Amino acid sequence: MKVSIVTAVFNRAQTIEQAIESVTRQTYPDIEHILVDGASSDGTLDAIRRQMKPGMKIVSEPDEGIYYALNKGMQMATGEVIGIVHSDDFLAHDQVIERVALAFSNPHIDAVFGDLDYVKADDTDYVVRHWEAGVFEPKKLKRGWMPPHPALFLRRNVIDILGDYDTFYEIAADYEAVLRWFGKGGIRSAYIPEVLVKMRVGGASNGSIKRIMRKSWEDFHALRRHGVGRCRTLAMKNLRKVKQFVITN
């Protein structure tokens, strides 16, 4: 099966090449990489062109944010399976897509996910936070569970049937989508118990107090929208993060 990787990027000249290289180094033979650039002005396009390989597609034009860009990329995708590699992230090793594809060889599986490491922006060997997802059970949604979004891969028909990212949400469209896909959508998933993606710390959701408050409001709105929970679930979702920092480097 073909696997499509979507990368949304805007002014990430310093990190985009590592993201691309982590995809091109994969041992799996049938990968399509779609890069959606929001009209960057810092040399990002030059960095992308230096890494251009067969199977890569690029579109560069102004957009309205990351979820618009991801939706655009997913609509361009022609693979049976779709995953995301953000412009500040990279696949953890060269066999990630091969292992994901193997999990999808079970025709009853709609989603595959693994674990995520948050790493220092200036030292990607230094793990700041380790997110161990664990096997999904529906009851976990009310306990604030979600898979690490960057380590989540979906069959294309999940998006076709259940929808893509709702751009009403500026920061938490990934959480709303998880509630929709894993909750009401009832998709069947497989968990790979290893780190699939490494993410640099300092994302859009926690850049300021205002952004943190906005994200909490959006999380709460998504929970109410899908009838999963309210304040208790939101509190448990945030508390889950605490133990992720208890690691030894």
Give the closest residue to 24 by CA, choosing from 46, 8, 48: 48
- Joined tokens for residue 21: 């290289």
Residue 204, pLDDT score: 56
Q: What is the mean pLDDT of residues 95-119?
A: 98
**Does 88 have pLDDT greater than 70?**
yes
Average pLDDT, the chain: 94
Give the closest residue to 199 by CA, choosing from 31, 111, 85: 85
- Position with higher pLDDT, 229 vs 80: 80
Give the closest residue to 132 by CA, choosing from 115, 118, 147, 144: 115
**Does 110 have pLDDT greater than 60?**
yes
Q: What is the mean pLDDT of residues 124-153?
A: 96
For residue 203, what pLDDT band results from cuts at 50, 70 and 90? low
Residue entry with tokens 């709105």: 221
Residue 245, pLDDT score: 82
Q: What is the mean pLDDT of residues 203-226?
A: 84
β-bridge partners, 189: 111
**Does 176 have pLDDT greater than 60?**
yes
Q: Please check whether residue 131 is in contact with residue 149, taking contact to mean a CB–CB distance below 8 angstroms.
A: no
- Joined tokens for residue 139: 């009851």
| CATH T-level fold of 3-245 | Spore Coat Polysaccharide Biosynthesis Protein SpsA; Chain A (3.90.550)
DSSP alpha helix (H) spans, the chain: 16-24, 44-50, 66-76, 96-104, 156-162, 173-178, 209-225, 231-239
CA distance 117 to 188: 24
Q: Please check whether residue 175 is in contact with residue 219, taking contact to mean a CB–CB distance below 8 angstroms.
A: yes
Q: What is the mean pLDDT of residues 207-214?
A: 82
Q: The whole model's pTM is what?
A: 0.94
